[in-house]
């Protein structure tokens, strides 16, 4: 039985970019039995919809498996790699350098519990 398609699913092109960034399984361990693309699809569904982990649709891999990969990848910096890679590709397609060349910082005072704080907003400056 084929899984229902969701708007948050990765396209084949998305998966081609992200698949090499996923860490391999442990050496000497059992090979993964779960499709990593489906794990990513389930995680993106969760992030986009804001649903609770236990409310993921049943046609995704088991919720505990999806959450386990999410947390493991979070600790390994996989999400940062995804964002950096995708951001670089978007910048490249827009004809920009893959790395921002300018940075604008704006700060303002923010009331906190009797302590002064600063709020930094970083934006990419267009040329």
* pLDDT tens digits, 59-88: 999 999 999 999 999 999 998 888 888 888
Q: What is the pTM of this model?
A: 0.69
Q: State the Cα torsion 48-72-3-54 to the nearest 10°.
A: -70
* pLDDT tens digits, 16-27: 888 998 988 778
Check residues 100 and 69 and name the one with the higher pLDDT: 69
Q: Are 39 and 46 in contact (CB under 8 A)?
A: no
27 CB neighbour count, 10 Å cutoff: 5
pLDDT at 127: 45
Mean pLDDT (whole number) for 24-52: 88
pLDDT at 1: 59
Mean pLDDT (whole number) for 81-105: 78
Check residues 108 and 13 and name the one with the higher pLDDT: 13
Q: Where are the beta strands (DSSP E) in the chain?
A: 103-111, 116-124
Q: Are 124 and 98 in contact (CB under 8 A)?
A: no
* Most confident option among 12-16, 86-90, 98-102: 12-16
Q: In degrees rounded to 5, what are phi and psi of residue 15?
A: -65, -35
């Amino acid at each position: 039985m084929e899984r229902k398609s969701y708007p948050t699913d990765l396209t084949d092109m998305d998966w081609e970019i992200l698949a090499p960034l996923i860490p391999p399984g442990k050496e000497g361990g059992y090979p993964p039995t779960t499709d990593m693309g489906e794990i990513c699809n389930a995680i993106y569904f969760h992030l986009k919809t804001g649903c609770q982990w236990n409310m993921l649709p049943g046609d995704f891999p088991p919720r505990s498996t999806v959450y386990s990969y999410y947390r493991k990848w979070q600790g390994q910096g996989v999400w940062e790699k995804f964002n950096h890679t995708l951001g670089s590709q978007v910048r490249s397609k827009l004809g920009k350098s893959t790395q921002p060349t300018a940075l604008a910082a704006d700060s303002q005072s923010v009331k906190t519990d009797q302590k002064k704080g600063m709020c930094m907003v970083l934006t990419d400056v267009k040329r």
